[in-house]
Structure 1
Amino acid sequence: MTERGLSGPRLVVAAAAGVMALVAAILSTPHPGESELRVTLRVTALVSATFFLAAFTASAWQRLRPTPTTRWLLRNRRYLGLSFAASHLVHGLAILALARRLPGGWGALPPTTLAGGGAGYAFIAAMAATSNDRAVAALGRWWHRLHTTGVYVLWFIFTFTYAGSAAVSPFHALLTAAFLAALGLRLAARSSARRSVAPSAPPEPPMRGAQSRDHGAG
């Protein structure tokens, strides 16, 4: 990734366009149905997970292994988050379309799925709406609390979802490992930051004999 690559709002536009192109390709069959919608869900979830992990680990990568790529990630962390929100909006629309096709509708989905998904989308909406300088200034410390809580709630939802089928899906096991590794990376970066700001030990006082010599020399 270079300085001349996609960045800022253009990144979000490109991400949204790319996701919609993928979905259009999946649903381009003569009679798209439940199977195509399920493929759409898997693809958009994977795209969303990729953007989320990039934003989730951007600061940690820059602290632990600074490179031009990590600088790009950190500088575009806000837009990676908005790209995630755009992708997951499409994912949510696919969920709505699938629920309409299921015999039991929303009742066919487990309550935990509805509760977790609802909480996740509430945080996504709140974080996307406040991903601007004006909101940062207006909310102050609450902005940091909202976004910190939100990213960890979303991390938990992704990890819990993929871990639930990791035993039967090697790919989901790999994604679970990726999310756990991302958390480990953030914790390692936090530990590194704390060590770097820890107060240094005070200098040892000079030996008594040295004090006497200095006093005599004066």
Structure 2
Amino acid sequence: MTSRFSPYGLWTLFALPLIAWSWMAMTSTNPRIIHMLVHPTGEWAARLLIVTMMITPLAMIFRGKGWTRWLKKNRRYFGVAAFAYAALHTVFYLIDRGSLSRVLGHIDRIWIWTGWIAFLIFIPLALTSADRWVRELGTWWKPLQRWTYVAALFVLVHWAALHNWEEPGVALVHFAPLAALEAYRLWYWYLRPRPSRTA
């Protein structure tokens, strides 16, 4: 039974697109290859972030199911993988811009600064994801990790605004399942009818 929860196969799956895109970046003769890889790496990071955040409400709905237990056990791996692709997305973006002045020249645009804020929030979340930090931070660990929700909002705006709000539907469709699950989670904890207590 333990082998079912081995992380090695999961990390292999996570690594395949990263390896493929990195190889393309290093070997392609297309002068625009880095520019072409900025978008898919960012989308992959966002999708992994969404999956990571969906795990807890899914586990609430499908209690006791083996696949939800597997997801909960490996949730931090999904989060770290999301950060890895966000980092690759950022590296490709910086290479594509080519200079600090060109990077700073776009910093005031909403689809740029929202992405940077989301990435900066992800850094401490990823760095403190190991078991050691869970022990070190104690009761502070969960409040810190809840900043994921703030980062996710910035990611949504970053993605939706990327094309001057002309095509926000793609981002909204991706985030809609997460929004529905989080709405259920809020209803379950705060709004659902509860049986009245009797003396």
Equivalent position of 1:106 in the other structure: 103
After superposition, the Cα gap between the structure-2 partners of 1:113 and 1:163, relative to the gap in structure 1 and judged at 3 Å, is: closer
Equivalent position of 1:208 in the other structure: none
Quick one: distance in 1 between partners of 2:98 and 2:58? 42
Equivalent position of 1:203 in the other structure: 198
After superposition, the Cα gap between the structure-2 partners of 1:10 and 1:124, relative to the gap in structure 1 and judged at 3 Å, is: farther
Equivalent position of 1:184 in the other structure: 180
Question: Does residue 63 of the first structure (1) align with residue 60 of the second (2)?
Answer: yes
Instruction: State the TM-score, normalized to the length of structure 1.
Output: 0.75
Quick one: distance in 2 between partners of 1:85 and 1:17? 15
Identity %: 19
Quick one: distance in 2 between partners of 1:98 and 1:54? 28
Equivalent position of 2:156 in the other structure: 159
After superposition, the Cα gap between the structure-2 partners of 1:9 and 1:135, relative to the gap in structure 1 and judged at 3 Å, is: farther
After superposition, the Cα gap between the structure-2 partners of 1:197 and 1:127, relative to the gap in structure 1 and judged at 3 Å, is: farther
Equivalent position of 1:116 in the other structure: 114
Quick one: distance in 1 between partners of 2:133 and 2:172? 33
Equivalent position of 1:44 in the other structure: 41
After superposition, the Cα gap between the structure-2 partners of 1:106 and 1:195, relative to the gap in structure 1 and judged at 3 Å, is: closer
Q: How many equivalent pairs are there? A: 196
Bigger CA drift: 180-189 or 79-88?
180-189
After superposition, the Cα gap between the structure-2 partners of 1:113 and 1:161, relative to the gap in structure 1 and judged at 3 Å, is: closer
Letter in 2 for 1:140: G
Q: Are the aligned partners of 2:114 and 2:158 in contact in 1 as well (CA < 8 Å)?
A: no
Bigger CA drift: 106-115 or 125-134?
106-115
Cα deviation for residue 134 of structure 1 reads 1.8
User: In terms of Rg, which structure is larger?
Assistant: 1
Instruction: State the TM-score, normalized to the length of structure 2.
Output: 0.81
Quick one: distance in 2 between partners of 1:175 and 1:20? 25
SS at structure 1 position matched to 2:126: helix
